Amino acid sequence: MAFIEALQSIIPIALFFSAPLIFTALGGVFSERSGVVNIGLEGLMVMGAFVGVVFNLTFANVFGTFTPWLSMIVACIVSALFSLVHAVASVTFRADQVVSGVAINFLALGLGVFLTKQWYGKGQTDMVSQPFYSKSIPFLSDIPFLGPIFFKGIYYTSYLAIVLAFVAWFILYHTSFGLRLRSVGEHPMAADTNGINVYLMRYVAVMISGALGGLGGSVFALTISFNFSQSTIVGQGFMSLAAVIFGKWHPLGAMGAALFFGFAQSLSVISSGIPLLADVPKVYLTIAPYVLTILALAGFIGRAEAPKSIGKPYIKGTR
C-alpha cells in the first residue's frame, strides 16, 4: 500500500512539473525537425510567462475564470510573433542559429524585465488573481487505485500537454505538411527540387515553436510561479531542449523525456517523504535530467540522431 500511496503523491506532482516542459519541448521538435536549432526556447518561455502574467493581471476583472485560458492563447500568439525575430535572423539573414537563439534569450529577458519595471514600477509583477487550479475529474477520480493517481488534483493543462503531443505526432508523421517539414530539415535541396518552399516551411516551424514555447511559459507562470520576474524562467527552456534531444527529436519521445524530467524534479521536491529516497542527496535528483541527456547523446542510452541539415542555413542554388 505504501507504494501506491507514494505513486498517488508523485504522479500528480510529476504531471504538474512536466506540463510546461512538454509544451516547450514539442515546440523545439517542430523547429529542429525543420532544420533550425532553437536554443531560444528559454527566451520564448520567458516571453510566454511575461505575456501570460501581464494579460492575466490586466484582464482578470473582465474575463473572470476564463482569464487563464485567454492569457495562454495571447501568450501563444505574442511568442509566435516574437519568434519571427529568430526566423528572420536564422532563415533569411543566414545568421548562426545558435547565436541568434542566444540573442533571443537575452532579448526576451531584457524586454520582459524592462517592461515589468516600466509598467509595475518594480522588479516583479503582482501575483495573478486568476491562475489555473488543479481539478479532480468527477467519476474518473473515484476509480480505485488509478483514479487518485491520474484524475485527482491534476491541472487541465497537463492533459492538454499530453493531448498536444499526440496531435504533434500525428501532424509530423501522418500529414503531408509534417512530411514536408521533416524533409526540409533532412535535405532542403531535395525538398526544394520537389517544389517545397524551404524558407516558408522553416518560418512556419519556428513560429510553431514560438507558439508552443509561449504556451509552455504561460502555463509555468499560471500554475507554478504565479508572477513574472527576472527569475521566473531559469533553465526550464534549456531543460525542454534537453527533452527534445533525449526524446530523439520525436514528439512522443520528447513528451516521455519531459515527463521523466518532471518526475525527477518532483522526486527532488518530495523525496524526504519517501523512505528509500530520503537518504539520496537531492543534488543527484536535480542533475539527473542533464546527466541523462549527455549519456543519451553519447550513445549510452540508444543513439540520438539529429536531423541531417540542422543548423545549416539553406542558400538557394548552392550545392
Partner 1 sequence: MFSSRMFNILVPVISVILGLIAGALIMLIFGYNPILGYQALWDGAFGNVYFFGETVRQVTPYIFTGLAVAFAFRSGLFNIGAEGQVIIGWLASVWIGTSLHAPMIIHLPITIIGAALAGALWGFLPGLLKARLGVHEVIVTIMMNYIALHVSNAMIRNVLTDGSDSTEKVAESALLSSDWLMEITGYSRLHYGILIAFLAAFIMWFLLEKTTIGYELRSVGFNRHASEYAGMSVGKNIILAMVISGAFAGLAGAMEGLGTFGYMPTNSSFTNLGFDGIAVALLGGNTAIGSVIAAFLFGVLKIGSLNMPTTAGVPGELVEIVIALIIFFVASSYIIRWVILRFKKEGK
Chain contacts with partner 1 (rule: CB under 8 A): 37, 39, 85, 89, 92-96, 98-100, 102-107, 109-111, 113-114, 117-118, 231, 234-235, 238-239, 241-242, 245, 281-283, 286-287, 290-291, 293-294, 297-299, 306
Residue closer to partner 1, measured from CB, 105 or 218: 105
Which residues lie across from 26 on neighbouring strands?
none
Work out how close the CB of 108 gets to partner 1 at its nearest, in angstroms, rounded to a whole number. Answer: 8
* Beta carbons of 220 and 231 less than 8 angstroms apart: no
Residues 240, 258: Cα–Cα separation, whole Å:
7
Work out how close the CB of 222 gets to partner 1 at its nearest, in angstroms, rounded to a whole number. Answer: 21
Distances (CA, A) of 3 to 10, 122, 260, 276: 10, 46, 18, 11
Residue 154, classed as helix, strand or coil, is strand
* Beta carbons of 105 and 238 less than 8 angstroms apart: no
Work out how close the CB of 248 gets to partner 1 at its nearest, in angstroms, rounded to a whole number. Answer: 13
Work out how close the CB of 131 gets to partner 1 at its nearest, in angstroms, rounded to a whole number. Answer: 22
- Please enumerate in sequence order all residues whose Cβ is within 8 A of that of 196, keeping only pairs 6 or more positions apart, or say none: 180, 183, 184
Residue closer to partner 1, measured from CB, 38 or 158: 38
Residues 251, 147: Cα–Cα separation, whole Å:
27
Work out how close the CB of 189 gets to partner 1 at its nearest, in angstroms, rounded to a whole number. Answer: 19
Work out how close the CB of 68 gets to partner 1 at its nearest, in angstroms, rounded to a whole number. Answer: 26
- What residue type is 150 in one-letter code? F
Residue closer to partner 1, measured from CB, 58 or 92: 92
Residue closer to partner 1, measured from CB, 34 or 265: 265
Residue closer to partner 1, measured from CB, 72 or 104: 104
* Beta carbons of 132 and 68 less than 8 angstroms apart: yes
Residues 294, 301: Cα–Cα separation, whole Å:
10
Closest by CA to 271, choosing from 283, 284, 280, is 280
Residue closer to partner 1, measured from CB, 245 or 252: 245
CA-angle at 110, arms to 54 and 82, nearest 5°: 65
Residue closer to partner 1, measured from CB, 106 or 145: 106
3-state secondary structure 181-222: HHHHHHCHHHHHHCCCCHHHHHHHHHHHHHHHHHHHHHHHHH
Work out how close the CB of 105 gets to partner 1 at its nearest, in angstroms, rounded to a whole number. Answer: 8
